[in-house]
Structure 1
């Protein structure tokens, strides 16, 4: 009984944080047409019992400067909420060599195990008294900082992820299709930036573009990221971003080849061509599992992968490959996937209650599992309104983020979202992992299924 009470107290501290100080955090709004046009959002809570009198947005750390706030927000009364500000994000620059163009040629980069603030700060006040402060940050080395969690298996960690990770646009002015811009793009940031911000799971849907190669294109150029059955970006650049990131960061990335909607059906030779591309681009950094004992890659820890210098975990349906490629050590069987694509918000809550509380009848087993918190276009149509991808993410992301801030977050493995940047998913995962690593002996997840 004493252990149960202690666990519940620890869960309360994890969920509530310092309630009296009313924690705040910054996210990126999904209202802008492009990333540069996107505005910052201020978030507070959950369960803020003593809202501050006002919140200021700054370009510099207000605790060490006397600058006036760029934006002044007052009248906060709800215990949990968010408010869009007129403060535009503009062009992002990652210091320490973490911009892609710098990292491509760099021999080393600056390590930021506790994260690095970008020049966007939020601070809360009562009168002139500074209460709390937060910043929009990138976290390329957060796993290295969680030393107590380094020996926990991947299936016990909370890994922040993105859904349709490769469905992004780097230049909106060159993309004429409104269908692509509004309905098929699923992320503000390219894969490199997602990883630098702290994402550690990538969901890739692959299509095969069967065009002739008379223009000089090689066979590998025919593999593309697709979303909603349309080609978005070449795959090769995404794989090279993943490789370069793990080489510089020494972090773990789970790469999930989740679907193959175009050009693969009944074509084992196309699957083989994709495998050859993966082996070519990631063969030196991909984890090699013990095939003879059917090893589960989710049982490996971050530290074990780091020690062997192979920190990309590749999930792939090996049954689609011919022998002997289907027994390659580089490929791990897919983890269990669960999606809210066709659920309304009430159904999503019930589904999360089933999965994350780990009830006896829950489909979550003792292996790696992935929760895709997304809404499909079809689900939007069921509500008699054709919502854009951003509109759908703006509705579901904050709700799921809030629900995971409670005890359910302790049970999460991989959580993947569209447009993750309107949440603090990475910070939430870091806090949960730190809590789990230092309190493992008290964890009895069955008692928090309330």
Structure 2
């Protein structure tokens, strides 16, 4: 029986449809949030993780504002912004704010939802206060499997994969006392590996050292060159848990063995390490003979969603689940312009590479500057590079067409995961005719609410707004059939 809708009900349905559909612009490269890697002075103390707003001058007019909200400004009408850039046309297109993002110590269950937002929302706001476009800082735990119908036939070496340089060299900044010469140049990430994966990183650059005199929980440690950082085992456990709880594909690149793998004992030490990989990952590891051109669908349908690069040819000959270590394209550049020119050459020529290839979007600091400049650090140069990365992807066609793996330091400062999603969306448009093979069962995922931060960074759940809830309850009371109609529209 056909339901007759009065003009008032029609208006309410249309309004509710707007509330449901006009939520976020998940792939909007013109409006986004990053977390700066650099340290700044704020109210007499050194702080890290400043929120930075980014926008393109093409999307704003003279009277528009760029605003930061703690709640979605469309779902929560009347919510006040916590900061505004009132003349965005006269600004450089980015603004570092006196707002700090706390470290997210969330649990696995809170992390692995579909497209959860940290409650930091950037909005383009018109002169009359109407939000015109909204984006958020988003957790991308399932971005690859969400694009399964697009990426199923895509070769592994033709997909843009976001990576973290020195993924295991992470450390939370605490105070000036802990900010010494060693820490300034040894650490390259703020987030642990679990959080890196939850935010969408899919390539982990790891260097392994062996320390027989430190056997607990294992004698294998993550190194940055010859600096021992932390034990390797908890990092491998994070990768294992992530693969168990998602349908994502991860590349674990054991790129160097800088300490403890001496010529006399190297084989025995490598055997121990390979034994750990076998016991933890087993059939999750893809065989090397599939090669770098393996379609992502083959990795998904087989369940072998972990590619392990291993920088020892002798071990690779013995074990078919060890791939050639990913070729790192390192500029050794000390200026941003040098890095850009090198990156352009790599992006242009990368199609001829025989192996998986990673462009390392990082700079090298001169040794003398490291010793004499108390303000210099990996954080400082990462901030410089990360601001340039989105612009390079917009302006350099070879970046969008050719790059395979792109790695950065302090990855939340670059928007690298959203860039990868946008680029892959261009390379492999959605397919309406795609049907998963009969022998493939997708892992189901549940959408999660906003990951809410209070002043101390505590977590909580956020509803989708008083306005949306009230309208939905009102319509449901009027006619249950209308609620069914709304559910169909939301699908």
Pair in the same fold by TM > 0.5: yes
Does residue 308 of structure 2 align to residue 302 of structure 1?
Answer: no
Match of 1:244 in 2: 241
Aligned-pair distance for 1:435?
0.9
Aligned CA distance change for structure 1 residues 262 and 140 (closer, same or farther; 3 Å):
same
Contact kept? 2:285, 2:305, Cα under 8 Å: yes
Structure 1, gaps ≥5 residues long: 1-17, 100-108, 441-450
Aligned-pair distance for 1:191?
0.3
Aligned CA distance change for structure 1 residues 339 and 380 (closer, same or farther; 3 Å):
farther
Taking structure 1 as the reference length, the TM-score comes to 0.79
Match of 2:19 in 1: none
Structure 2, gaps ≥5 residues long: 1-24, 432-491
Does residue 428 of structure 2 align to residue 417 of structure 1?
Answer: no
Match of 1:311 in 2: 305
Contact kept? 1:54, 1:74, Cα under 8 Å: yes
- Distance in 1 (CA, whole Å) between partners of 2:312 and 2:388 is 35
- Distance in 1 (CA, whole Å) between partners of 2:214 and 2:165 is 31
Does residue 389 of structure 2 align to residue 389 of structure 1?
Answer: no
Aligned CA distance change for structure 1 residues 365 and 377 (closer, same or farther; 3 Å):
same
Aligned-pair distance for 1:244?
0.7
Secondary structure, in 3 states, of the residue corresponding to 1:26? strand
Match of 2:88 among 63, 66, 76: 76
Match of 2:66 in 1: 55
1:38-437 paired onto structure 2 within 5 Å: 38-45=49-56, 50=61, 53-65=64-76, 66-77=78-89, 81-92=93-104, 94=106, 97-99=109-111, 110=113, 112=114, 115-127=115-127, 128-146=129-147, 147-169=149-171, 172=174, 176=178, 178-211=180-213, 217=216, 221-266=218-263, 267-290=266-289, 295-296=290-291, 298-321=292-315, 326-358=317-349, 364-378=352-366, 381=369, 385=373, 387-406=376-395, 407=397, 408-437=399-428
Render the CA deviation track for 1:44-82: whole Å, top value 9, x for unaligned: 127657466211111110011111101122122258531
Aligned residues: 393
Secondary structure, in 3 states, of the residue corresponding to 2:89? coil
Aligned-pair distance for 1:246?
1.1
Aligned-pair distance for 1:263?
1.3
Render the CA deviation track for 1:182-208: whole Å, top value 9, x for unaligned: 221110100000000000000001111
Q: Which moved more, 1:376-385 or 1:230-239?
A: 376-385
Contact kept? 1:44, 1:79, Cα under 8 Å: no
Which structure has the bigger radius of gyration? Answer: 2
Taking structure 2 as the reference length, the TM-score comes to 0.73
Aligned-pair distance for 1:210?
2.7
What root-mean-square deviation, in Å, do the aligned CA atoms of Structure 1 and Structure 2 show?
Answer: 3.0
- Distance in 2 (CA, whole Å) between partners of 1:426 and 1:57 is 21
Contact kept? 1:203, 1:257, Cα under 8 Å: yes
